[in-house]
Structure 1
Amino acid sequence: MFDLHRLRLLRELKHRGTLAAVASALSYSPSSVSQQLSLLESEVGVPLLEPVGRRVRLTPQAEILVAHTEAVLERLEQAEADIAGSLGELTGTLRIASFQTAALALVPPALMLLRGAHPRLRIQVTQMEREGALSALLAHDVDLVIDVEYPGDPSPRPVELEREVLGQDTLHLVHPDVTHATRPQEMLRVLASHPWVMEPDGTAARRWAMTVCRGAGFEPDVRYESADLLLHLRLVEQGHAAALLPDLVWLGRRPTIPLRPVPFGQKTRTLVTAVRRGSSRHPAIQTVRQALVTAVDRESETTLRRPPGDLSQ
């Protein structure tokens, strides 16, 4: 029978990419990781790694082993969930990774609910953008990710993860000059000559925003790039840029600037939680998910109310 510890090292190598990254994550030396994988090769009887420049990659036989290891780890996740469910109180640590606006608007109220109901459940939160967060979830560095999906985003959904919808977050066209036009499509054309702020190239948010602008017949002048939507908001408030911003950026407060609806295609992004397959039955994960749903409901009650000058209705 193959050694599970060595199989997990092989799986770690698939998800982390290098022996050095595996060693750093698990507090081993690279030589120790290499030695354990060599022993696994001896057990299996076929090469598991092949050199590619200064790196290594998994052979087809190694990929087969990793797929079976994922199945074993899923059953172990289920076993952990069943044991936790047999206990009368939630204890231990649950690690959450969240993108910025959800970390600001949803995590604190969820923590408040959890602190009162489950004082022995320890929650760790790390702010992390979605690409890194999902990789961290696959690598067992976190247990739950608060993620966001933009309309039409073709990004793959790893089969090793289970997703659950938290809610919908409406997206708006924002600029101090939005009152200069009566229809959203006209507003986009007015803003075609303005500077824009968007998230960085390669992100789902950027791809969606570019699609909206091109649908209006222009290529936006993107002068400012940042993953920080609060910076986007500040630039818009001071008249430096136009932007496409979600409700969540106002953190439960009334919007500070007039809003216009997005004229093309889907106009909401989807808030989701993601966990490793097999862990969704864990009572701590179920409880945290429910606390986040409650936080989304409360956020919607405040943010979705528009100020008197709102033009989005």
Structure 2
Amino acid sequence: MYDLHRLRLLRELSHRGTLAAVADALGYSPSAVSRQLGILEREVGMSLLEPAGRGVRLTPAARTLVVRTERIVRELEQAEAEIAGMRTDLVGVIRVATFQTAAHGLVLDTIARLQRNHPRLTVEFTHLEAEATVPALLARDFDLVLSEQYPGNPPVPHPGVMMSTLAEDPLLLAIPTAWDAKSLKDLAEAPWVMEPPHTAPRTWTAAACRAAGFEPDVRFETADLSLHTAIVSKGLAAAFLPMLAQNPSPHMRLLPTGEHRTITLAIRAGSDSNPALQAFTTTIRSL
């Protein structure tokens, strides 16, 4: 029988991409990871890794082993959830990956309620870039992930991940109160603040302006939506803001766009029956 520890190292490599990344995540040296995978190759009797530039890639035999190992890991996670369900109180640590506005508007309140109701349950969260969330979830760096999808950018399904809609967050047009503008078309000559290029919010906001007949004059770029609010309030630019992100200001007017972003919640298949995760999801949905 193949060694499960070594199989999980191979699985980690499939998710993290490099021996160095596996070593860093698990607290080993790269040479120790390489040595264990070499032993696994001898157990299997076939090559599992092949050179790819400066790194390595998995062979077909290795990919077959990873698929089977994923099933084993899901079964173990299900067993962990069932054992947790036998306890009379909730204990342990939940690791959450989230984006900025969900952290401010949803996660902090959820943590506060859980601390009152389940004092032995700890919730940790990390602000993580969107493109890294699902790989980090599958690699077990996190137990639960909150992410956002803008119109025209639906989530990509991933085997082993269960994703559900948490909330629909209206998208608003934010305009300085001193400006005499009543719609998006009135802002063709206006300066804008937008998120950085190649992000889903930027793609949507630029497309909305183009649909209104103009190319936006982007003067300011930042992923910090509280800074968007400050820039609009000071009369420096217009912006699109999700309802969850906006802070009321007498110097800013908000107009509906008729569009919304979707806030999603993702967990690994097999962990959905874990009582601690159920407590988190129940609490965040009740806000």
**1:89 aligned onto 2:85:** no
Secondary structure of 2:188 counterpart: helix
Specify the alignment match of 1:118 in structure 2.
118
Specify the alignment match of 1:302 in structure 2.
none
Specify the alignment match of 2:45 in structure 1.
45
Q: 1:173-212 residue pairs with structure 2 within 5 A?
A: 173-176=173-176, 180-182=180-182, 187-212=183-208
Distance (Å, rounded) in 2 between the aligned partners of 1:43 and 1:151:
49
Query: How far 1:180 sits from its partner (Å)?
Result: 3.0
Give the one of 231, 246, 257 matched to 1:262.
Answer: 257
Query: How far 1:257 sits from its partner (Å)?
Result: 2.1
**1:283 aligned onto 2:279:** no
Give the one of 281, 284, 287 matched to 1:292.
Answer: 284
CA offset digits 1:137-190 (Å, max 9, x no partner): 1211111111111111055232221112211100011111597344xxxx2222
Task: Tell me the C-alpha RMSD between the 2 structures.
Answer: 1.8
Specify the alignment match of 1:132 in structure 2.
132
Specify the alignment match of 1:150 in structure 2.
150
Query: How far 1:230 sits from its partner (Å)?
Result: 0.8
CA offset digits 1:49-108 (Å, max 9, x no partner): 111111111112211211111111111111111111111110011111111111111122
CA offset digits 1:222-251 (Å, max 9, x no partner): 222221111111111112221111011136
Q: Could you say if the C-alpha distance between residues 234 and 191 of structure 1 is closer, same or farther in structure 2, counting changes exceeding 3 Å? A: same
- The TM-score, its normalising length taken from structure 2, stands at 0.94
Q: 1:68-87 residue pairs with structure 2 within 5 A?
A: 68-87=68-87
Specify the alignment match of 2:245 in structure 1.
249
- The TM-score, its normalising length taken from structure 1, stands at 0.87
Secondary structure of 1:156 counterpart: coil
Runs of at least 5 residues in structure 2 that lack an aligned partner in the other structure:
none
Runs of at least 5 residues in structure 1 that lack an aligned partner in the other structure:
296-313
Query: How far 1:202 sits from its partner (Å)?
Result: 2.1
Distance (Å, rounded) in 2 between the aligned partners of 1:36 and 1:192:
60
Secondary structure of 1:219 counterpart: coil
Give the one of 216, 219, 222 matched to 2:218.
Answer: 222
Query: How far 1:13 sits from its partner (Å)?
Result: 0.8
CA offset digits 1:15-46 (Å, max 9, x no partner): 11110010011010100100111111112222
Distance (Å, rounded) in 1 between the aligned partners of 2:104 and 2:29:
37
Q: Could you say if the C-alpha distance between residues 178 and 168 of structure 1 is closer, same or farther in structure 2, counting changes exceeding 3 Å? A: farther
Query: How far 1:203 sits from its partner (Å)?
Result: 1.6
Specify the alignment match of 2:11 in structure 1.
11
Distance (Å, rounded) in 1 between the aligned partners of 2:160 and 2:239:
35
Distance (Å, rounded) in 2 between the aligned partners of 1:255 and 1:88:
50
The structure carrying a bigger strand percent of its residues is 2
Secondary structure of 2:204 counterpart: helix
Q: How many matched pairs?
A: 287
Q: Could you say if the C-alpha distance between residues 256 and 137 of structure 1 is closer, same or farther in structure 2, counting changes exceeding 3 Å? A: farther
Give the percent of matched residue pairs that are identical in Structure 1 and Structure 2. Answer: 51
Distance (Å, rounded) in 2 between the aligned partners of 1:129 and 1:255:
32
Q: What is the identity, as a one-letter code, of the residue corresponding to 2:256?
A: P
- Give the conservation status (yes or no) of the 8 Å contact 2:106–2:284: yes
- The answer to which of 84-93 and 217-226 deviates more is 217-226
Distance (Å, rounded) in 2 between the aligned partners of 1:272 and 1:254:
28
